[in-house]
Amino acid sequence: MQQNFYGEVLYYTFPEFEQYKDLIHGFSSREGGVSRGFFSTMNMGVHTGDDRENILENYSIFCDTLGVDVNQVVLAPLSHGDTIRNVTKDDAGSGLCKPFMFEETDGLLTDVPGLVLTATFADCVPVFFYDPVKKVAGIAHSGWRGTVKEIAGKMVERMQADYGCDTKNIHVGIGPSIGMCCFEVSEDVFYDFTELTYLEDGWYFDKDNGHYDIDLWRVIWATLTDRGILPENIAISGICTCCNSSLLFSHRATKGRRGTMAGMISIKEPAKKESL
């Protein structure tokens, strides 16, 4: 992933997605916002206990950075599940400028230009989706539970079923999140992953003490390729939030005293024709 700077704001983008001029996307960092203390500074988490004014200001700054309308933000009410919503114009503002209009959703999809699909993260894996042929964009929040529930694979299935997308056209970006270097789990969590029968070698390291290091990026990659996504269409940031907790919020590195980053994706509205 590429680092970008806009004033004080540091954010990340996938070069693989930037080639599409009708797509806007980005992943925020801790840099460039107005929050204080362990929320400093770009806290995008509406349920973190931070001042609402600061959060709204951070959203305003980050939306200006990306060039999207903060009133069009649709925030996913996360629950570590596998519920996916097809977002329409009626959802604009849900969770940020208006109360949440729907519940418990970890995946958002849309083909409506202008809407800003947004989910928040602090170690969980942001997964961005775009089909430049059908012009369908999506974002999923895939923590370890969502990864075991194959939310990334279910996003692909929904893009096929609901929007007529062809898997060979779908591009996927796996963003900054906890890496295998830092994601140690107990045996029961490890065994949940072994239910994903298509996993091959290399997705875990057995520490021989009842604990395992798990590579969520590789597991999600395997889920995506199992559903027919072409390996060359999957970009992995390789950035570990826990190793970079001065720049990125990490739940594990801070034992929960932290804000959250936002991943946003939006299809650009066509330029308005001048009326005579």
CB of 224 to Zn ion, least distance (A): 22
Q: Render 134-203 in DSSP notation, one character per residue.
A: TTEEEEEEE-HHHHHTTHHHHHHHHHHHHH---GGG-EEEE-SB--TTT-EEEHHHHHHHTT-TT--TTS
Query: Are residues 155 and 138 in contact, defined by beta-carbon separation less than 8 angstroms?
Result: yes
Cis (ω within 30 of 0) for the bond into 194? no
| CB closer to Zn ion, 62 vs 217 | 217
- In the list 179, 237, 265, 267, the residue contacting Zn ion (rule: CB under 5 A) is 179
| CB closer to Zn ion, 115 vs 240 | 240
Site for Zn ion in 180-199 (CB under 5 A): 181-182
| CB closer to Zn ion, 117 vs 253 | 253
Residue recorded with tokens 């995946």: 107
Among the residue ranges 86-94, 136-144, 173-181, 261-269, the one whose residues contact Zn ion (CB under 5 A): 173-181
Site for Zn ion in 197-256 (CB under 5 A): 240, 242-243
CA distance 43 to 264: 14
CB of 200 to Zn ion, least distance (A): 23
CB of 257 to Zn ion, least distance (A): 18
Q: Render 191-211 in DSSP notation, one character per residue.
A: HHHTT-TT--TTSEEE-SSSE
| CB closer to Zn ion, 105 vs 260 | 260
| CB closer to Zn ion, 101 vs 185 | 185
Cβ-in-10-Å burial (0-12, 13-18, 19+) of 188 comes to exposed
The reply on whether position 46 binds Zn ion by CB under 5 A is no
Q: How far is the CA of 204 from the CAs of 70, 72, 151, 193, in angstroms?
A: 40, 39, 20, 10
CB of 242 to Zn ion, least distance (A): 4
Kindly determine how many residues on this chain lie close enough to bind Zn ion according to the rule CB under 5 A. 6
Return residues touching Zn ion (CB under 5 A). Answer: 179, 181-182, 240, 242-243
